[in-house]
Amino acid sequence: MVRRSSSPNRVSAPTPSPQPLSPDVVVLGGLNLDIVVQVPALPRPGETVAGGSLAMHPGGKGANQAVAAARLGAGTAMIGRVGADDFGRQLRAALDAAGVSTVAVQDDPSEPTGVALIAVEPSGQNSIVVAPGANLRVSPDDVVAAGRLFESARVCLMPLEVPLDTIAAAAERAQAAGCKVILNAAPATELPSELLTTIDLLVANEVEAATLLHTRLPAKPDDAALALLALGARGAILTLGERGLWLAQAGRLDYVPAFPVRAVDTTAAGDAFLGGLAAAHVRGTELAEACRYGAAAAALAVTRPGAQPSLPAAVEVEALLGQQANG
Ligand code: ADP
């Protein structure tokens, strides 16, 4: 559990955040406000389409993963940046409400809060434009400033939404503190081998794996998982949506099937999986079993609409795992 500091909360703070000194999981990543419009069909270049009403939700892979881990019982702290604006205050409040520490989320004085503009067709097909704003200002100095969070943490979870030199600094800081580094290769980007060789676990979906491996979508996913491992991390996971995932470690290859559910919205499946994987792993669960826990969390998330609102609680994941064991 997150322990609070003994210093009193500042009465002047508009949204007081928990002040954990000892998280189990540290997430370095993006915070975005998702601005979503339903459209009859995605606009072609130069076209204007009339959409439905506007919906705004807290998002960003980093923030989603932090909320997922916290809901599943892990003391979680986020490192990131928002703008000194109303969107930033909303995102900070959403993390606070989920019990994620925002002690290392800074207000950036020069860039606005990150925003994702999302258009969604009735088929579920979407098109997304991200204005990263303050997320691109997260610096290696922010990692130094948040250094003490790594002392207690057992897992550091990082998607690729902040600059790579910051991710490299966090990987180094985490390793020095004996904290396992899980790198989520999302959004799809090529990665330098110096970074890959410093991480414990690389997690990629099929599109991200194709980018990392410079190939088309892999035909044989078990071979692709081994090819990801060969990039230099100590372990690699290839996720395949409803077809489950492969976990490759030195001398060992495991297949973890997806839980059969009726999916209504697959947004944040990967984030739910990563949060679940991290939460289980910090409790000492061995990696293949932690993947099963993450897969159960993701299966529940896809049965509900939205990103953060769809993320399940530990009791729900345990019930699903129990049903499987008994069925
Ligand atoms: P991402 O959201 O990053 O693209 P995936 O779609 O590969 O990631 O999903 C990650 C994991 O979530 C999968 O390995 C699987 O365990 C689970 N998952 C995703 N989609 C479904 C689904 N339709 N039904 C059940 N589980 C799913």
pLDDT tens for the 327 residues of the chain, in order: 444 333 333 333 344 444 456 899 999 999 999 999 999 999 999 999 999 989 999 999 999 999 999 999 999 999 999 999 999 999 999 999 999 999 999 999 999 999 999 998 888 788 889 999 999 999 999 999 999 999 999 999 999 999 999 999 999 999 999 999 999 999 999 999 999 999 999 999 999 999 999 987 667 999 999 999 999 999 999 999 999 999 999 989 999 999 999 988 888 999 999 999 999 999 999 999 999 999 999 999 999 888 899 999 999 999 999 987 776
Q: Is residue 49 part of a domain?
A: no
Total domains in the fold of the chain:
1
DSSP 113: P
Asked whether 34 and 130 are in contact (CB, 8 A), the reply is no
- Is position 270 within any domain? yes
Q: Examine residue 118 and state whether it is found in any structural domain, yes or no.
A: no
Residue 121 covered by a domain: no
Tell me the CB-side half-sphere exposure of residue 270, using CA atoms within 13 A.
Answer: 23
Cα separation, 227 vs 217, in Å, equals 13
H or E element that contains 82: strand 76-83
Distance CA(84)–CA(137), nearest Å, equals: 13
Residue among 33, 286, 319, 63 nearest 180 (CA): 286
Residue to substitute in 203, 273, 300, 324 for testing ligand 1 pocket (most ligand atoms within 8 angstroms of CB): 273
Residue 94 included in any domain: yes
Residue with tokens 């925003």: 115
In a domain, 11, yes or no: no
Is residue 18 one of the residues assigned to a domain? no
Q: Which of 157, 184, 205, 247 to mutate to test the pocket of ligand 1 (most atoms within 8 A of CB)?
A: 205
> Ligand 1 centre from 153 Cα, in Å?
26
Question: Which among 108, 142, 200, 271 is annotated as catalytic?
Answer: 271
| Domain span including residue 296 | 25-31+60-110+136-326
Q: Give the DSSP letter string of 258-288.
A: PP----S--TTHHHHHHHHHHHHHHTT--HH
Instruction: Specify if 51 maps to a domain.
Output: no
The backbone torsions φ and ψ at residue 52, rounded to the nearest 5 degrees and listed phi first, read -85, -160
Residue position matching structure tokens 């692709």? 224
Ligand 1 atom index nearest CA of 259? 25
Q: What is the CATH number of the domain that holds 242?
A: 3.40.1190.20
Note if the pTM is more than 0.85: yes
Q: Which residues pair with 57 in a beta bridge?
A: 34
Closest CA to 182 of 164, 165, 204: 204
Angstrom distance (rounded) from CA 24 to CA 182: 13
